[in-house]
Amino acid sequence: MTMSKHALDSGLPHLPSPRSALRPTRRATRLGLGKRIPYGLAIGPLLVLLLWSLASATGLLDPRVLSQPWVVASTLVDLLRDGRLQTNLVTSAQRVLLGLGLGVVVGGSLGMIAGLSRRGEAVIDGPVQAKRAIPTLALIPLLILWTGIGEEMKVTTIAIASSIQVYLHTHEGLRTIDARYVELAQTLRLTRWKFIRKVALPGALPGFLMGLRLAVTTSWLTLTAVEQINATSGIGYMMSLARSYGQTEIIMVGLVVYGLFGLCSDLALRALEKSLLGWRRSMAGAG
């Protein structure tokens, strides 16, 4: 949808319609794509666990290569009893929360500036897109030189990786708001601040939440890498120490913990997204 010259000159973002895109097609409904069964998420992991158990029980899988699932479960209990798992888990969670929090603030702020201002987009979007093409882990040598090899480097790496996801989806959410809302705001002569509060922020929320979900996943993935570098605590440190002694069962415990926390984080954000975006379903049903 093409906006009027007055809308372009006002500096308001170029804004198409979410209503038709939000309404599931008949074919998608017949295929069941419009309804997602929560317990369906467990089918894949349970199938992997079953195959792993069968391969271990029949001897197809050498325990020196990958420990049996019952050995991993026993090791998990032992680590919980002596408190090692909890201590390392708290350290890892703190790194993720700090890095993710910083990334959300930076990425969301930059996304809002670039989405609401053509000048802001001209200054910000190019460097961010260039950074998008560079793997964040490739920046670790520079970050070590700038911040040292301690916690600052780990948190900064996570923050950079997560901020890109938040920026991209927040910016895209602003640029794709329905142009009719912009025209209505102009008709009502809304001030810049009221436009941001009543049109831009609600319109950008779906994109921001999608970026947040991806940022959480990216944060846990980045954590697995940075905790292998000069760490003295954390799940990654526990796994690195186990690798030195060939303890694959502890490595598997760490991988399971990473996976569970990533999955639980995503499920929590899905629930938040469903709660905050209930108005979208109402609009689709009313259309």
Question: What Cα–Cα distance (Å) separates residue 209 from each residue in 18, 171, 202?
Answer: 15, 12, 11
Are 142 and 200 within 8 A, CB to CB? Answer: no
What structural domains and CATH numbers belong to the chain?
Answer: 86-286 (1.10.3720.10)
Q: Which residue has the higher pLDDT, 254 or 17?
A: 254
DSSP H or E stretch at residue 92: helix 84-116
Give pTM, 2 decimals.
Answer: 0.75
For all residues of the chain together, what is the average pLDDT?
81
Residues 6+ apart with CB under 8 A from 216: 100, 162, 262, 265, 266, 269
- C-alpha 220/C-alpha 235 separation (Å) is 11
Name which of 203, 197, 265, 182 is nearest 9 in CA terms.
182
Are 37 and 25 within 8 A, CB to CB? Answer: no
Are 103 and 159 within 8 A, CB to CB? Answer: yes
Are 139 and 160 within 8 A, CB to CB? Answer: yes
Name which of 18, 15, 16 is nearest 280 in CA terms.
18
Are 114 and 171 within 8 A, CB to CB? Answer: yes
- C-alpha 146/C-alpha 155 separation (Å) is 13
- Kindly report the backbone phi and psi dihedral angles of residue 2, in degrees, each rounded to the nearest multiple of 5, phi listed first: -90, 135
Are 177 and 227 within 8 A, CB to CB? Answer: no
Cα torsion 15, 159, 264, 168 to 10°: value is 20
Look at 96-105, 124-133, 174-183, 273-282 and tell me which has the smallest mean pLDDT.
273-282
Q: pLDDT category, 31, cuts 50, 70, 90?
A: very low
Are 253 and 76 within 8 A, CB to CB? Answer: yes
Residue type, 79: L
User: What does the pLDDT read at residue 186?
Assistant: 75
- Kindly report the backbone phi and psi dihedral angles of residue 12, in degrees, each rounded to the nearest multiple of 5, phi listed first: -75, 150
Q: Which residue has the higher pLDDT, 161 or 183?
A: 161
Structure tokens at 131: 């950074």
- Given a cut of 90, is residue 174 above it in pLDDT? no
Q: pLDDT category, 145, cuts 50, 70, 90?
A: very high
User: What does the pLDDT read at residue 7?
Assistant: 43
Mean of pLDDT values over 16-31? 44
DSSP H or E stretch at residue 244: helix 235-244
Q: pLDDT category, 59, cuts 50, 70, 90?
A: confident
- Given a cut of 60, is residue 283 above it in pLDDT? no
Interval 212-234: pLDDT, tens: 999 998 998 899 889 888 888 89
User: What does the pLDDT read at residue 91?
Assistant: 93
User: What does the pLDDT read at residue 202?
Assistant: 81
Work out the number of other CB atoms within 10 angstroms of the CB of residue 239: 23
